């Protein structure tokens, strides 16, 4: 099972779509590392993903947890303190998800001046220090973003193994600016990105665009998917006070709080919070899996057509992948690419797959 460990709710940035972490108390860890270890010991193969706020603001706490608890480690970070991780801890990470939104112009506009260059410097630095794990460029796509331009930019940076993105929640909330026109542009950009991805695949290269390879992997196998991020199924968040949330985004919502490290075992948490309608009756549910537990359970907060707009992006993406499937199968059968190129992720590493 997989656990987001919120090391702190504080953040050193003030991004346009976030605002600098959460103000809800407690902001710092209240439990002892031994309490977390005792809880996680009930799991034979735990994956611990450090999360925030910005987790590397509490790097000493992170190191104590890594020293005390055996398991696989992942971190989701803004990347500005990656240079502070000592090599013996850096090598313990399987995956590092770095928040970056595309080009320098876009990233600095959304995250602050100079952020892009600091991220670039640090990801190249950790590669030079010998980090051989998976570095994922983790985008937040705000309204107005050119998805084709920004994804292809990040794909071109060799230090990144994969690129993933999520649509910013804000554009779908009640009172947000009209977004219908941009959604059409976004879907068009996805179509262009798929054509480019397939063209590159024809040369033998499968670029690590996570939503594409994740969905294509399912189509190739024919296996149905549940909620792909795993929230509430086998993916949980340990809050600073020891309570457990089904999802790291919805920690302040009652539906999401499903247990505690003091009173529950890992297996007792499975399937305590699941997506409901309209997802479960949808004809692409077996591929999409429901997209987002938080949005599904908070529909009353969305603009009038917000859910339909979100679903239109998922349906478009799924349709593009279904149409690309014969071409991909042909390239595999002819030996141009390998079936294993689509076996990603190795385990749930925090990439939600469905944007």
- 111, pLDDT greater than 80: yes
What pLDDT is recorded for position 173? 82
pLDDT band at 18 (very low <50, low <70, confident <90, very high): confident
Going by C-alpha positions, the residue among 149, 44, 129 that lies closest to residue 88 is 129
Alpha-carbon gap, residue 299 to 307, rounded angstroms: 7
Alpha-carbon gap, residue 256 to 99, rounded angstroms: 24
- 266, pLDDT greater than 90: yes
Domains of the chain: 1-132+232-268 (3.20.20.70), 179-229+273-355 (no CATH)
- 23, pLDDT greater than 80: no
- 204, pLDDT greater than 70: yes
Do 354 and 289 touch, CB atoms closer than 8 A?
A: yes
* Rounded average pLDDT over 28-37: 97
* Rounded average pLDDT over 302-314: 93
Going by C-alpha positions, the residue among 43, 73, 134, 45 that lies closest to residue 345 is 134
Which pTM value belongs to this model? Answer: 0.96
pLDDT band at 8 (very low <50, low <70, confident <90, very high): very high
Whether the upstream peptide bond of residue 278 has omega within 30° of 0, thus cis, is yes
Q: How does pLDDT run across 34-76, given as a tens digit for each residue?
A: 999 999 999 999 999 999 999 999 999 999 999 999 999 999 9
pLDDT band at 178 (very low <50, low <70, confident <90, very high): confident
pLDDT band at 175 (very low <50, low <70, confident <90, very high): confident
Mean pLDDT of the chain: 95
- 245, pLDDT greater than 70: yes
* Percent over 90 (pLDDT), the chain: 91
pLDDT band at 176 (very low <50, low <70, confident <90, very high): confident
Please, which residues have CB within 8 angstroms of residue 221's CB and are 6 or more apart in sequence? Answer: none
Please, which residues have CB within 8 angstroms of residue 316's CB and are 6 or more apart in sequence? Answer: 187, 190, 191
Which range among 15-19, 34-38, 194-198 shows the weakest confidence by mean pLDDT? Answer: 15-19
Give SS3 for 236.
strand
pLDDT band at 19 (very low <50, low <70, confident <90, very high): low
Instruction: Give the dihedral of Cα atoms 320, 203, 141, 97; nearest 10 deg.
Output: 120
What pLDDT is recorded for position 20? 63
What pLDDT is recorded for position 159? 95
Alpha-carbon gap, residue 315 to 237, rounded angstroms: 28
- 12, pLDDT greater than 80: yes
DSSP bridge partners of 4: 49, 237
- 22, pLDDT greater than 80: no
Could you count the other beta carbons within 10 Å of the beta carbon of residue 48? 23
What pLDDT is recorded for position 21? 64
């Amino acid at each position: 099972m997989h656990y987001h460990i919120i090391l702190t709710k504080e953040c050193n940035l003030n991004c346009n779509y976030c605002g600098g972490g959460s103000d809800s108390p407690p902001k710092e860890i209240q439990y002892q590392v031994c309490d977390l270890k005792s809880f996680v010991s009930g799991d034979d193969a735990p994956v611990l993903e450090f999360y925030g706020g910005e987790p590397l603001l509490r790097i000493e706490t992170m190191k104590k947890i890594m020293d005390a608890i055996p398991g696989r480690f992942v971190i989701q970070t803004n990347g500005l303190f990656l240079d502070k991780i000592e090599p013996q801890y850096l090598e313990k990470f399987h995956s590092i998800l770095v928040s970056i939104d595309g080009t320098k112009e876009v990233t600095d506009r959304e995250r602050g001046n100079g952020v892009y260059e600091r991220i670039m410097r640090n990801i190249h630095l950790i590669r030079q220090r010998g980090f051989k794990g998976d570095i994922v460029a983790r985008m937040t796509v705000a309204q107005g973003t050119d998805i084709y331009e920004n994804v292809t930019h990040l794909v071109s940076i060799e230090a990144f193994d994969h690129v993933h993105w999520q649509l910013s929640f804000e554009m779908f909330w009640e009172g947000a600016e009209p977004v219908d026109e941009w959604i059409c542009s976004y879907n068009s950009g996805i179509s262009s990105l798929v054509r480019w991805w397939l063209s590159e695949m024809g040369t033998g290269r499968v670029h690590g665009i996570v939503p594409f390879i994740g969905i294509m992997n399912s189509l190739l196998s024919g296996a149905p998917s549940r909620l792909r991020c795993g929230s509430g199924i086998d993916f949980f968040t340990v809050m600073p006070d020891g309570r457990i949330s089904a999802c790291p985004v919805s920690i302040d919502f009652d539906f999401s709080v499903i247990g505690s490290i003091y009173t529950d075992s890992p297996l007792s948490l499975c399937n305590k919070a699941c997506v409901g309608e309209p997802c479960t009756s949808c004809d692409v549910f077996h591929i999409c899996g429901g997209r987002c537990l938080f949005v599904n359970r908070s529909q009353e907060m969305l603009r009038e057509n917000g859910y339909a707009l979100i679903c239109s992006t998922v349906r478009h993406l799924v349709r593009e992948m279904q149409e690309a499937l014969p071409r991909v199968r042909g390239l595999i059968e002819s030996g141009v690419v390998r079936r294993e190129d689509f076996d990603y992720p190795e385990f749930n590493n925090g990439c939600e797959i469905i944007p």
